[in-house]
């Protein structure tokens, strides 16, 4: 495996609604800052790849405008995934393994506020048997939470504790927009939104963008004092129909973590893309970490959840803590699809 | 970089509406044929790379999630590529990188479009505040580019008609082609109504349901399967709205060709390449891309068409399968070009086989002539 490191990470401060700017206008300053932080101009970047989703902006080819925004001239080697930016980073990492190029720019953006997000998410389901029923994203997550509670692996108090901790941590993250000091007992007295989920169990709807620069080998050390080396990265998908998988566990996370060399490991920091509180509990079970790692010091997706960027932001947040010297080993995770259908795990280390 | 070979190729019968299959059934039909060709089963596949054009074409957001089961991807890495019309080609390139990186030995790549599930032209033309509308779909967008090509090159007005006839006749030799117009004549093409000046109805691609799949494998696996060896891959992109950009002869296309030729060791494309399968959605793009790809001097591409050089029995056959003019499941159209190049160098193209084809070029483009993907394949191991 060729050594590849995160040397630069920038995100737009997430907001509930950014009515004045389109996706490109949110994205542009982020890409500029990430390139500047890396010291590599776009013309010297070996490979560029982005992640976005047309159904958020409500137009086809949303990513084409991104290409205009970054100023792809002279023409660049470029690709795009209709997935979270974390998967764009995976594609870039694969590309960098070949050895002929040394750097990659990854960017992603999502303006979730353009539509009714929970309903929009119904469009990503089986078009013949599920979408016509219009199960919204919160109701599907509630089914999973109910299955977990009925199985008995965790309870509602643990879920509320995840919410309280995440919102408290989000208060010190200037890029998060939902934070506060909440008492677990008080939270548990709140009414259900969609049983067994209360409002605090659900993520905010966020507009945002993020960018990462990856650099291979010694060049990374020249650019960055403490590059965040990717020691393993893998992603796995599960069956789509909720009835054909066990919702109380995340087998694809366990498998991806195993392949990435992270399962059962010891980490200083873990950044999990768990939009709903019960999903953090399920993910931690799947990872079986061996020590008391700090989980989601950024506040995670419960503090800010810009679609298509929230996964890459987890990798960026984990890498940032290695680059600033506050962590030596970190694990980042991204998810896609209903009820944790698809998961990516990335293990990062300092020197 | 590890060597990569194409060991399995499959495609569906393309048609206006494949009402006999669901979207899952469509991709599975192509994937099973590719697996059968490779002599493999689902469990042999280590990763799946899926491509398709905008989600709004079928009204499905991130369809890889729903297709995970049908593609045998459960428990495996599954990546979804989307790079506009070039996507079928760039998806194959991403899949090739999975093998070339040394991380995977057997990768399944699939591309599809089921256009009958919605209306592509109108999916392409929503009115977005503060943005220039495309409104009339791809034909309306590209017609002015074609008029400018004719003005610059001084090409006779019947070149597009000749390309259309050639590709439609080639399609009669391809059992998978959507449009099969027995006995079609130049006069019929010429007499068909002009949709967007100078593009006539019979010079246009159809709207198709279809899928294409390939199995790509590492050197040790591929050697056993008479593969098409991947000698080079390249993708290049440039902005859509940039003043001064030449949309007739885009720099991204020229740069992409230069990069893929350099990797494949091609010095003189006209002589070194035996056959070309390129993305020609409107007939005039054959001479335009011949120039952009460096097969001939600028302004002379139309002469190759006129002289019969690009005919199936010509010196440089182009679009042996019938091309995009005969089958156009948009998301798969690029991969079908790549697959046809591979079929040719494996000597498995059936009735539309070019005798002695050793080296083939697969080409795809998309967006406003701004996204390019190409590969060069050979029947001989490099």
Which has the closest alpha carbon to B168: B157, B156, B146, B183? B183
Residue located via tokens 């974390």? A86
- Which chain A residue shows the shortest CA-CA distance from B24? A126
Q: What is the pLDDT of residues B185-239, one digit of tens each?
A: 999 999 999 999 999 999 999 999 999 999 999 999 999 899 999 999 999 999 9
Count of structural domains, chain B: 1
Inter-chain contact A124–B79, Cβ cutoff 8 Å? no
- Tokens standing for residue A326: 């506050």
Q: Would the pLDDT of A59 be above 80?
A: no
Inter-chain contact B79–A240, Cβ cutoff 8 Å? no
The whole-number pLDDT of residue B138 equals 85
Q: Name the pLDDT band for B135 (thresholds 50, 70, 90).
A: low
For residues B235-252, give the mean pLDDT: 94
Q: How far is CA B294 from CA B127, B237, B278, B299, B323, in A?
A: 37, 18, 13, 11, 20
Would an 8 Å CB–CB cutoff place A61 in contact with chain B?
yes
Q: What is the CATH number of the domain that holds B66?
A: 3.40.47.10
For residues B142-147, give the mean pLDDT: 96
Residue B132 placed within a domain? no
Q: Would the pLDDT of B145 be above 90?
A: yes
Q: Would the pLDDT of B136 be above 70?
A: no
The whole-number pLDDT of residue B128 equals 67
Would an 8 Å CB–CB cutoff place A112 in contact with chain B?
no
Q: Name the pLDDT band for B284 (thresholds 50, 70, 90).
A: very high
Inter-chain contact A127–B54, Cβ cutoff 8 Å? no
Contacts of B298 (CB under 8 A, 6+ apart): B249, B291
Q: Confirm if B48 and B250 have CB atoms less than 8 A apart.
A: no
> Could you give the CA distance from residue B121 to residue A40 in angstroms, rounded to a whole number?
40
- Which chain A residue shows the shortest CA-CA distance from B127? A59
> Could you give the CA distance from residue A344 to residue A324 in angstroms, rounded to a whole number?
24
Residue B165 placed within a domain? no
The whole-number pLDDT of residue B130 equals 64
Would an 8 Å CB–CB cutoff place A243 in contact with chain B?
no
The whole-number pLDDT of residue B134 equals 59
User: How close B347 comes to chain A (CA, Å)?
Assistant: 30
Which A residues, 120 through 159, put their C-beta within 8 Å of a C-beta on chain B?
A: 120-121, 123-128, 131
pTM of this structure? 0.98
Residue B265 placed within a domain? yes
Inter-chain contact A74–B56, Cβ cutoff 8 Å? no
For residues A20-49, give the mean pLDDT: 95
> Could you give the CA distance from residue A215 to residue A103 in angstroms, rounded to a whole number?
4
Residue B280 placed within a domain? yes
Residues of B in contact with A65 (CB under 8 A): 131, 240
What structural domains and CATH numbers belong to chain A? 4-113+206-223 (3.40.47.10)
Residue located via tokens 């939270």? A187
Inter-chain contact B74–A238, Cβ cutoff 8 Å? yes
Interface size A-B, in CB pairs within 8 Å, comes to 188
Question: How many H helices and E strands in chain A?
Answer: 12, 12
Q: Would the pLDDT of B122 be above 80?
A: no
> Could you give the CA distance from residue A214 to residue A312 in angstroms, rounded to a whole number?
12
Least confident stretch, A99-108, B110-119, B200-209: B110-119
The residues with which B209 forms a beta bridge, in sequence order, are: B15, B114
Q: Would the pLDDT of A206 be above 60?
A: yes
Residue B178 placed within a domain? no
Q: Name the pLDDT band for A60 (thresholds 50, 70, 90).
A: confident
Q: What is the pLDDT of residues A22-36, one digit of tens each?
A: 888 999 999 999 999
The alpha carbon dihedral of A270, A336, A167, A303 has a sign of positive
Q: Name the pLDDT band for A281 (thresholds 50, 70, 90).
A: very high
Residues of B in contact with A77 (CB under 8 A): 234-237, 259
Residue B256 placed within a domain? yes
The whole-number pLDDT of residue B131 equals 65
Residue B283 placed within a domain? yes
The whole-number pLDDT of residue B132 equals 65
Q: What is the pLDDT of residues A167-205, one digit of tens each?
A: 999 999 999 999 999 999 999 999 999 999 999 999 999
> Could you give the CA distance from residue B214 to residue B159 in angstroms, rounded to a whole number?
33
Beta pairing, strands B4-11 & B228-237: antiparallel
Beta pairing, strands B359-366 & B275-277: parallel
User: How close A51 comes to chain B (CA, Å)?
Assistant: 9
Residue B69 placed within a domain? yes
For residues B76-84, give the mean pLDDT: 96
Q: What is the pLDDT of residues A312-335, one digit of tens each?
A: 999 999 999 999 999 999 999 999
Residues of B in contact with A55 (CB under 8 A): 55-56, 61-62
Q: What is the pLDDT of residues B318-367, one digit of tens each?
A: 999 999 999 999 999 999 999 999 999 999 999 999 999 999 999 999 99
Q: Would the pLDDT of A85 be above 60?
A: yes
For residues A224-241, give the mean pLDDT: 97
Residues of A in contact with B117 (CB under 8 A): 127
Q: Would the pLDDT of B45 be above 80?
A: yes
Residues of B in contact with A97 (CB under 8 A): 101-103
> Could you give the CA distance from residue B9 to residue B32 in angstroms, rounded to a whole number?
9
> Could you give the CA distance from residue B368 to residue B169 in angstroms, rounded to a whole number?
28
Which A residues, 11 through 30, put their C-beta within 8 Å of a C-beta on chain B?
A: 22
Residues of B in contact with A235 (CB under 8 A): 77-79
Q: Would the pLDDT of A291 be above 90?
A: no
Inter-chain contact B65–A120, Cβ cutoff 8 Å? no
Least confident stretch, A13-27, A147-161, B23-37, B118-132: B118-132
Q: Domain span at residue B32?
A: 4-120+205-377
The whole-number pLDDT of residue B109 equals 98
Instruction: Kindly indicate whether the ipTM for this predicted assembly is greater than 0.85, answering yes or no.
Output: yes
> Could you give the CA distance from residue A198 to residue A160 in angstroms, rounded to a whole number?
9
CA angle B110, B337, B90 (to 5 degrees): 55
> Could you give the CA distance from residue A314 to residue B47 in angstroms, rounded to a whole number?
24
Q: Name the pLDDT band for B120 (thresholds 50, 70, 90).
A: confident
Which A residues, 293 through 332, put their C-beta within 8 Å of a C-beta on chain B?
A: none
Inter-chain contact A61–B241, Cβ cutoff 8 Å? no
The residues with which A151 forms a beta bridge, in sequence order, are: none
CA angle B53, B58, B63 (to 5 degrees): 70
- SS3 for B375? strand
């Amino acid at each position: 495996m060729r050594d590849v490191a995160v040397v630069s990470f920038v995100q737009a401060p997430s907001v509930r609604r950014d009515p004045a700017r389109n996706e490109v206008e949110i994205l542009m300053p982020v890409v500029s800052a990430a390139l500047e932080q890396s010291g590599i101009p776009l013309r010297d970047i070996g490979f560029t790849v982005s992640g976005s989703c047309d159904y958020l902006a409500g137009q086809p080819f949303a990513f084409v405008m991104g290409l205009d925004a970054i100023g792809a001239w002279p023409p660049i080697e470029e690709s795009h995934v209709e997935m979270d930016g974390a998967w764009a980073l995976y594609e870039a990492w694969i590309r960098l393994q070949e050895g002929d190029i040394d750097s990659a720019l990854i960017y992603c953006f999502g303006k979730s506020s353009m539509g009714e997000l929970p309903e929009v998410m119904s469009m990503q389901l089986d078009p013949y048997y599920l979408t016509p029923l219009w199960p919204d994203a919160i109701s599907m997550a509630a089914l999973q939470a109910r299955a977990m509670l009925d199985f008995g692996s965790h309870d509602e108090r643990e879920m509320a504790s995840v919410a309280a901790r995440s919102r408290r941590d989000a208060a010190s993250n200037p890029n998060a927009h939902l934070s506060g000091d909440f008492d677990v007992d008080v939270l548990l007295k709140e009414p259900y939104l969609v049983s067994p989920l209360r409002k605090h169990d659900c993520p905010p709807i966020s507009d945002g963008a993020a960018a990462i620069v990856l650099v291979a080998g010694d060049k990374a050390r020249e650019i960055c004092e403490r590059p965040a080396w990717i020691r393993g990265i893998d992603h796995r998908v599960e069956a789509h129909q909720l009835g054909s998988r066990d919702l109380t566990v995340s087998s694809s996370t366990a498998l991806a973590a195993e392949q990435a060399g992270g399962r059962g490991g010891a980490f200083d920091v873990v950044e999990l893309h768990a939009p709903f509180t019960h999903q953090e509990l399920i993910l931690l079970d799947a990872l079986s970490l061996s020590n008391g790692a700090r989980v989601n010091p950024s506040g995670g997706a419960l503090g800010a959840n810009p679609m298509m960027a929230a996964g890459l932001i987890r990798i960026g947040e984990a890498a940032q803590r290695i680059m600033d010297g506050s962590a030596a080993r970190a694990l980042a995770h991204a998810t896609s699809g209903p009820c944790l259908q698809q998961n990516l795990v990335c293990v990062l280390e300092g020197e | 970089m590890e060597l990569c070979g194409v060991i399995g190729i499959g495609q569906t019968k393309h048609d206006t509406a494949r009402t006999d299959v669901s979207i899952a059934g469509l991709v599975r039909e192509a994937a099973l044929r590719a697996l059968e060709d490779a002599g493999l089963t689902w469990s042999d596949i280590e990763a799946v790379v899926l491509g398709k054009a905008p989600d709004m074409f079928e009204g499905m957001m991130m369809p890889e999630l729903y297709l995970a089961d049908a593609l045998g991807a459960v428990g495996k890495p599954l990546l979804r590529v989307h790079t506009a019309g070039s996507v079928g080609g760039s998806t194959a390139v991403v899949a090739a990188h999975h093998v070339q990186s040394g991380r995977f030995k057997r990768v399944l790549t699939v591309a599809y479009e089921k256009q009958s599930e919605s209306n592509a032209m109108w999916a392409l033309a929503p009115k977005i505040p503060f943005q220039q509308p495309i409104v009339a779909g791809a034909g309306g967008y590209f017609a002015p580019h074609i008029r400018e090509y004719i003005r610059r090159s001084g090409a006779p007005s019947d070149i597009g008609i000749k390309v259309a006839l050639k590709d439609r006749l080639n399609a009669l030799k391809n059992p998978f082609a959507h449009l099969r117009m027995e006995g079609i004549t130049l006069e019929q093409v010429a007499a068909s109504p002009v949709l967007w000046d100078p593009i006539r109805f019979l010079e246009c691609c159809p709207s198709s349901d279809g899928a294409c799949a390939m199995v790509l494998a590492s050197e040790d696996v591929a050697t056993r399967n008479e593969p098409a060896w991947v000698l080079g891959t390249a993708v290049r992109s440039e902005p859509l709205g940039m003043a001064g950009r030449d949309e007739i002869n885009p720099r991204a296309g020229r740069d992409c060709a230069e990069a893929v030729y350099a990797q494949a060791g091609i010095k003189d494309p006209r002589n070194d390449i035996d056959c070309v399968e390129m993305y020609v959605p409107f007939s005039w793009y054959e001479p335009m891309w011949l120039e952009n790809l460096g097969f001939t001097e600028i302004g002379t591409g139309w002469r190759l068409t006129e002289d019969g050089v690009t005919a199936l029995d010509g010196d440089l056959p182009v679009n042996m399968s019938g091309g995009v003019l005969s089958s156009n499941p948009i998301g798969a159209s690029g991969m079908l070009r790549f697959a046809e190049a591979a079929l040719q160098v494996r000597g498995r193209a059936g009735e539309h086989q070019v005798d002695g084809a050793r080296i083939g070029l697969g080409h795809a483009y998309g967006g406003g002539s701004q996204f390019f993907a190409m590969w060069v394949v050979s029947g001989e191991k490099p």
